[in-house]
Chain A
């Protein structure tokens, strides 16, 4: 049960970082 929670947490953090990185990279590019 804990391992599932941990995997989901890691996945969520990865998605947060990916979202942040994607937005930062897209800035200034049109």
Chain B
């Protein structure tokens, strides 16, 4: 009687242990992923985050001169520079499950897109001086205008890369990240990496 009881007991315990061993991995797999993992995953799938769009309106003078005269073209460059961060360079410093805070390390915002607005860009001045006023060689005019227009893209990029736009871009990106995380009840702190020399 006692022996049968012991055998049953042993079988019961064995069945319990077996079911625990079998079901636990399944239970683990079925458990929803942690909120922090969802947020990090979402950030990883977002390739870049634009924080600030800088409206550019800058005059740019292009001068072509020879020995006896020259041409001066002043172009008012209008366009937009999109300042943002490349999230592929994002580093996760720490994930604190107790305070629900993720600390990210991000590179400083750079100009991701520089667009010249051709409809708003205009020539303020197109003037010859010196002996070049006597004969107008049109090919020279075309060359100077082409050079001025080609330079417009650089003007937009350079204006966007101005350090005075950095704090606003950083604040906007931090705000966007906070918005993403706050939906899951988390907060994101950003550590901005110092800009490496040579990068824009």
Q: Please give the residue numbers on chain A whose beta carbons come within 8 Å of chain B beta carbons, in ascending order.
A: 15-16, 18-20, 22-28, 30
Contact = CB atoms under 8 A, between A and B. Distances in A.
Contact of B147 (A15, A18, A22, A30): A30
Given A16-B134, A16-B135, A18-B131, A23 B147 contact: no
B69 to A, nearest CB: 7
B135 A20 contact: yes
- Which secondary structure characterizes the binding site on chain A? helix
Contacts of B134: 15-16, 19
A8 to B, nearest CB: 14
B139 A19 contact: no
Contacts of A27: 137, 139-140, 143
Given A16-B135, A20-B137, A22-B67, 5 more contacts: A19-B68, A23-B66, A27-B137, A30-B64, A30-B147
Contacts of A16: 134-135
Given A27-B140, A27-B143, A30-B147, A22 B64 contact: no
Which of the four size classes fits the interface of chain B? 10 to 19
A26 B64 contact: yes
Contacts of A22: 66-69, 131-132
A29 B43 CA distance: 49
27 contacts: A15-B134, A16-B135, A19-B69, A19-B132, A19-B135, A20-B135, A20-B137, A22-B67, A22-B68, A22-B69, A22-B131, A22-B132, A23-B66, A23-B69, A23-B132, A23-B135, A23-B137, A25-B66, A26-B64, A26-B65, A26-B66, A26-B70, A27-B137, A27-B140, A28-B143, A30-B64, A30-B147
